Amino acid sequence: MEKTQLEYRGEILYSFQIDNNINKYKLYIERVKGLALYDVIIIGGGPAGLTAAIYACRAGWKTLLIERGAFGGQAASTDLIENYPGFPEGISGPELMLNFYNQAVHFGCNFLTAEVNVLQSTNLTGKIKNVETNVGTVQGKTIILATGAQPRELGVKGEKEFRGRGVSYCATCDGFFFRNKKVAVIGGGDAAVKEALFLANIAREVVIIHRRDTFRADKVLGNKALAAPNIKVYWDTVVKEIAGERKISSLILHNVKTLATISEEVEGVFMYVGTQPNTAFLADHNSKNEQGYLLTDENLQLSITGVFAIGDCRRKKTRQVATAVGDGASVLAAVDEYLHSL
């Protein structure tokens, strides 16, 4: 379909469908007048947020999804997703997330590319909730937080110095630059092992460095990595330093059991040592645990009535695309009940 767009103060509001231009134009007029009021405002455009948008729009609620960057979240930068139902051969993350986005567009969701400012409890406690962004304020009857999480930094010497010059947090984004080179992957969870397998098809050799003596990743993934001819694993090992001058030349590794320290030559380092939630913008500390993850009840609602949290930003045991989608679908039952009670 022909891509159409409407620009206001440097911000492009666009739709893949011509018949949705009216909705986009209405959003533009309302924002100029400061009258924009939505039934549902979703903050975050990853799998959870896009799913919630689809369900909210299909239920007939006027919905706005706010995203500060690219739609799809971390899933959009994953080369191959094999554990999402319905795709026997797997599907690329970008393709899957584009399908999510197009489906939300199809059902009439409004989109706004903006950065949300600090959300104060006083702006969220009433029946009309205010969300301040860097392009203006919008109002909603309910708020769904779907801001996800981001990669955690390792915090060792050389990490910041070489970030973007050999240190990466996304193999599918940067793996191409290390074709036929030797790289390291730090971590032993699902994300680390998946990306190590991806890099094994590009790099000459992949070194996995894990602080434990077994993978935390899914057993099938772990076995694939151990069977790969160009993947080597250092168990019980941590990185002490990323060394080099203009570019990375080696890692200083320390074995936590033998206490031995060695140098391993590599040209690139990919970090997968956990995530941290994108919840700093929410000022209500009563809604977070010590790690910053949002605390919800069985209806996915925070302690603030009418404010919900879904996906990787909330406290939960499993963080996968499928579980994020489950949150996005489940939350609408409580949202719908709340809206009907107003």
Catalytic residue numbers read 170, 173-174
Phi and psi at residue 152, in whole multiples of 5°? -90, 140
Instruction: Tell me the torsion sign for CA atoms 72, 64, 309, 56.
Output: negative
Burial (CB < 10 A; 0-12, 13-18, 19+), residue 212, is exposed
What is the Cα–Cα distance from 13 to 292, expressed in whole angstroms? 32
Instruction: Tell me the torsion sign for CA atoms 23, 24, 25, 31.
Output: positive
Burial (CB < 10 A; 0-12, 13-18, 19+), residue 34, is exposed
Burial (CB < 10 A; 0-12, 13-18, 19+), residue 14, is middle
Residues, the chain: 342
User: Is there a contact between 45 and 65 (Cβ–Cβ < 8 Å)?
Assistant: yes
Q: What count of other Cβ atoms lies within 10 Å of the Cβ of residue 221?
A: 20
User: Is there a contact between 135 and 124 (Cβ–Cβ < 8 Å)?
Assistant: no
